[in-house]
A and B are shown apart, each in its own frame.
Chain A
């Protein structure tokens, strides 16, 4: 079916098949982003300007971005490490086989269990009257008296890990499967200890995949709005919550600044997706 000598009508027909996709994406994904980009470059008098981006250094904006970045970094690194070891445990740690499929299904569920129900579950566990909080009180540990609250940086990080760890597990399991038995045998034949094998062979091969997935986790936490909203309302300064407040009313006292904050998020998310795909492609060289 060479496409070179197709009659014009058929060529038009093949474009017709993808036309709805481009129209729809244009209307509901691209145009909304473009209008925000356009408005972010528009001054109060309608002229083109970069003032809105200069205003990103406003304290409110800096506070929201830095909290978002801190929580995303924390949960990406901790969730990534725990997720990696968990994937290792069920694939190479010598655990009974059913644990692996069980963990895979559970990870599918937990990585999708974000939003209001997740926030509620943690309020019932570690909220002021949560079950665990009460249990700690029984043994004489006053969590909230000691300064802990679920509505804080560490609290929200703890909640986010509930979907971050499973996402890491789901991406790492196939990567670990890609490690070839031959490599280990070759290393052993050359006299390598298991430690040397991991340091010199397995980890270097896995590293792009591990780092790439951690970046994916970063973006995953950075763009999360529903969980944080349901948990804290507006208590915690976060970039997504700030944009939400800006939609409902002009909390920044500058509509243009709201658009710039949104574009800043798109920029960071885009960067993390690009880095993720580059690292993923790199890891496919060995693990593909």
Chain B
């Protein structure tokens, strides 16, 4: 899998920057402009291409054809449902784990951290290879039907989200005083389920939301695992489209970029320093 990172909130109390010399400023601009050229040309070219589906005029015909495509909405909806299910599964596993590791079992922290890093060590293509070999034949047969494969896919996505989800939740827990909040709730007679549901979860909203959005951005167009599990999700659909159509893939790439931008922009917005003051 590709390693991804959410924009990390930057400390506002950074010290005054060095006084930049004129020569520094020249190089800074030069580098920025070069990078802008490299990053914006592919995006611009793709957008330009997506407007040219009709001969001799620019328009949104490619987008209309994309959205009218018989397989677009079914595969997209299926991916959204898979993503939401994976996020939910990941949350109900990671939040208690991060909480317990912070509060009651700190000795387990290195082990848990190590396991959450495994998706970086096991590339997606290797993971799906292993999943198919493990669950593709009796006694653990899970790839027999489309729906059971889909369950396996969702579980794999939840596992892939562990590094992001754990880091996000862990940062959120560090930002609040878990122990005091827990003891206060206990002294008021709350049980563990109530503490998790009414104290911890609400205080972790920002952390949970950024973990969820990052997972969404990664999972929504995921190709490798879905492909080898023969799932008709958005990733394989896009790959197929790129091979079979001329203009629609450009519209698809623009839509995918906008989706990623929406997810990442929301994270940047909710985690902006000073927002919670």
Contacts and interface: CB of A to CB of B under 8 A. Distances in A.
A243 B268 CA distance: 36
Contact of A95 (B28, B263, B267): B28
B171 to A, nearest CB: 13
Given A30-B115, A112-B264, A220-B3, 8 more contacts: A14-B100, A18-B105, A18-B112, A25-B118, A93-B31, A94-B25, A125-B41, A170-B7
Contact of B41 (A14, A107, A116, A132): A132
A138 to B, nearest CB: 14
Contacts of A203: none
Contact of A29 (B39, B44, B118): B118
B146 interface: no
A252 interface: no
Interface string A47-85: 000000000000000000000000000000000001001
A219 B120 CA distance: 8
Interface string B1-15: 111111110110011
Given A132-B41, A230-B242, A109 B260 contact: yes
Contacts of B7: 104-105, 107-108, 170
21 contacts: A1-B183, A25-B159, A28-B159, A89-B27, A94-B28, A95-B25, A109-B257, A111-B5, A114-B2, A115-B2, A116-B235, A116-B239, A120-B249, A120-B253, A125-B45, A170-B7, A181-B15, A230-B242, A244-B224, A266-B121, A266-B126
Interface in B92-133: 92-94, 96-97, 99-101, 103-105, 108, 112, 115, 117-133
A32 B101 CA distance: 25
Contacts, number: 314
Contact residues of A: prevailing secondary structure:
helix
A28 B253 contact: no
Contact of A230 (B3, B49, B124, B239): B239
Q: Which 5 A-B pairs have the closest CB atoms?
A: A93-B28, A32-B130, A94-B20, A223-B123, A117-B256
B177 interface: no
Nearest to B159: A28
Contacts of B122: 29, 32-33, 266, 269
Nearest to A26: B115
Given A108-B267, A109-B261, A33 B15 contact: no
Interface of B: 1-8, 10-11, 14-18, 20-21, 24-25, 27-29, 31-32, 35, 38-39, 41-46, 48-49, 92-94, 96-97, 99-101, 103-105, 108, 112, 115, 117-134, 155-156, 158-159, 162, 179, 183, 192, 214, 217-218, 221-224, 227-228, 235, 238-239, 242, 249-250, 252-253, 256-257, 260-261, 263-265, 267-268
Contact of B268 (A32, A94, A104): A104
A223 B264 contact: no
A240 B123 CA distance: 8
Nearest to A25: B115
Contacts of B252: 117, 120
Contacts of B130: 31-33, 35-36, 262
A86 B32 contact: yes
A177 B49 contact: no
B43 A21 contact: no
Contact residues of B: prevailing secondary structure:
helix
A107 B264 CA distance: 9
Given A94-B25, A184-B18, A167 B3 contact: yes
Interface in A109-166: 109-126, 130-132, 161-163, 165
Interface of A: 1, 3, 13-15, 17-18, 20-22, 24-25, 27-33, 35-36, 39, 82, 85-86, 88-95, 99-101, 104-126, 130-132, 161-163, 165, 167, 170-171, 173-174, 177, 180-181, 184, 194, 216, 219-220, 222-227, 229-230, 240, 243-244, 246-248, 258, 262, 265-266, 269-270, 273
A103 to B, nearest CB: 8
A17 B134 CA distance: 27
B46 A120 contact: yes
Contacts of B3: 111, 167, 216, 219-220
